[in-house]
Structure 1
Amino acid sequence: MDSLEILNPQIHGELRLRRDFPLSNHFVRIVPSEFAAAAVACPIFFSKHRETGAFYPGAALGLRPGELLVDRPDGKAAFESLESVREGFFATDDNISIDAAHSRFAAEDGHRLFEPDGAPAPALRRIQSALCALVVGTQEAEQFIAALLAHRLIEPLDISLSFDDGEKLSLQGLFTVSLDRLRRLDDASVLALFRAGHLQLAYTMIGSLQQVGILARRRNDRLTGTL
């Protein structure tokens, strides 16, 4: 990305974050430490990176691009991912880089990144924590996925939804953990998954699928004006 710059208090001391910046993606990458919080608000799926074809876990905040269905009555998201927190910021070796052209940034009337003395302001400290958690969590996610693939536990999903206004949606390119194959594993494999913390993550993903129906009902209510 040509517009990436190493974050520096001397250069970016007056840079601010826009208030109430809207979520840009309806499907966001998450890491294992986020599974429990995500599962009570939205379904968790596996998808594949377009470039590499590798699996990664993500949370569906809506059923189509530009849609948010996990908002609370106050209009804020019921689940806020680490990816959303760090949007516009990147971990570069031991530094933090920013996409200077990102619409999240403002020159005034926003949250400061730095205090007057150059120390990180609360907004930046929150982003630093999110980036650290993502670096660690990405490794954990890769280990989780490798364990599932070793036991052939990842399977594709076929989800078709119909709405009262006649619209039909088909969710494609999504995968989950196969409950049937999980139940057929031998005791030694189950114990290994359990001790690695992977079994709980697998069941959390499976349980989160009930949120698909909840999001669909919420979407239908909005389409028909009952919500």
Structure 2
Amino acid sequence: MAKQLLFYETPAAVNPARHGKTLVKDTGDFSFAAGVNSVPIAAAEFALCAAEYPIVFAGDPKAPVPSVILGLDGSRNAFIGKKGNWLGSYVPAYIRRYPFVLSQQDKTGTQTLHIDDSAACLATKGKGEALFDAGGKPTPYLEGVLKFQQDYQAQHQRTQAYAQRLADLELLKPMQANYTTPSGEKRTLQGFFTVDREKLKGLEDDAALQMFRNDELECTFLHLASARNFKALADRVSEAAKAA
């Protein structure tokens, strides 16, 4: 599981024996995500993400993953401030769900809530949200966390269906973003995919209607429009480099 979780270092199943005294502090510190330049997003997030991030399709073109680009320089996240604060308006749910995550379903369909035991926001003393009460029962906070994770997982499954439809209809093509560093060096970011506008226009009526009724056409147009955010992202990276 850890290989799929980017910044999760030591995910462990949440249980009262191990986490009976664990507290979660809301510090507003997103430093844990400073080393990633992209994260997956759900279809329900496209409208909010398209306003400030480039949305692309990453991974295998036969099983693409909708993602937002957060940086252009290697594995650096351009939306993390010096104090770990988030510099954008919207924080993707993949990041907001940290330090919690649901495991993959087993053969019985059961999922288990995990927490990154190495997360800096965890403590056993002081102020914070408890996971379990004195009797070892989940607190309302933990129940809320579980609901959020379950909702996220449901959105993730819907998003997978959308991305798979794009792949099955062969609508994706390789994409690259060209930008210039503050020193004048020209660079290219590649390894992701975008929807081919011409192939989209050539869709059969039945396929186009199905995508329209599933709100998948809306997601597709938001994705295409979000490409304009590469310029703002390049400017953000340049300004950060100059300040450094």
TM-score, scaled relative to structure 2: 0.77
Shift of residue 46, structure 1, vs aligned partner: 0.7
- Quick one: structure 1 residues 116 and 174, their matched pair in 2 at CA, closer, same or farther if it must change by over 3 Å? same
- Quick one: structure 1 residues 208 and 127, their matched pair in 2 at CA, closer, same or farther if it must change by over 3 Å? farther
1:114 aligns with 2:131: yes
Shift of residue 12, structure 1, vs aligned partner: 1.3
1:20 corresponds in structure 2 to 28
Report the Cα distance in structure 1 between the residues aligned to 2:130 and 2:55, rounded to whole angstroms.
32
1:176 corresponds in structure 2 to 194
1:43 corresponds in structure 2 to 54
Report the Cα distance in structure 1 between the residues aligned to 2:237 and 2:40, rounded to whole angstroms.
22
One-letter amino acid matched to 2:45: E
One-letter amino acid matched to 1:113: A
* Contact map agreement 1:46 1:58 (CA 8 A) in 2: yes
Report the Cα distance in structure 2 between the residues aligned to 1:34 and 1:178, rounded to whole angstroms.
21
1:67 aligns with 2:77: yes
* Contact map agreement 1:155 1:178 (CA 8 A) in 2: yes
Shift of residue 94, structure 1, vs aligned partner: 4.1
* Contact map agreement 2:177 2:230 (CA 8 A) in 1: no
1:161 corresponds in structure 2 to 179
One-letter amino acid matched to 1:120: T
CA deviation string 1:81-138 (max 9, x = no partner): 221122232214343122323444333456323364544354x455324311221122
Deviates more, 1:85-94 or 1:195-204: 85-94
One-letter amino acid matched to 1:56: V
Shift of residue 6, structure 1, vs aligned partner: 2.4
Shift of residue 47, structure 1, vs aligned partner: 0.5
One-letter amino acid matched to 2:191: G
1:96 corresponds in structure 2 to 113
- How many corresponding residue pairs? 221
1:11 aligns with 2:18: yes
Report the Cα distance in structure 2 between the residues aligned to 1:210 and 1:47, rounded to whole angstroms.
18
Q: Unaligned stretches of 5+ in structure 2?
A: 3-8, 104-109
One-letter amino acid matched to 2:53: C
One-letter amino acid matched to 1:184: G
SS at match of 2:191: coil
1:132 corresponds in structure 2 to 150
SS at match of 1:170: strand
Structure 1 runs, 4 residues or longer, greater than 6 Å off: none
Q: Unaligned stretches of 5+ in structure 1?
A: none
Report the Cα distance in structure 2 between the residues aligned to 1:3 and 1:219, rounded to whole angstroms.
30
Report the Cα distance in structure 2 between the residues aligned to 1:121 and 1:13, rounded to whole angstroms.
14
Supply the RMSD in Å over aligned alpha carbons. Answer: 2.9
Deviates more, 1:143-152 or 1:4-13: 4-13
CA deviation string 1:7-31 (max 9, x = no partner): 1245313223352332412211111
- Quick one: structure 1 residues 179 and 83, their matched pair in 2 at CA, closer, same or farther if it must change by over 3 Å? same
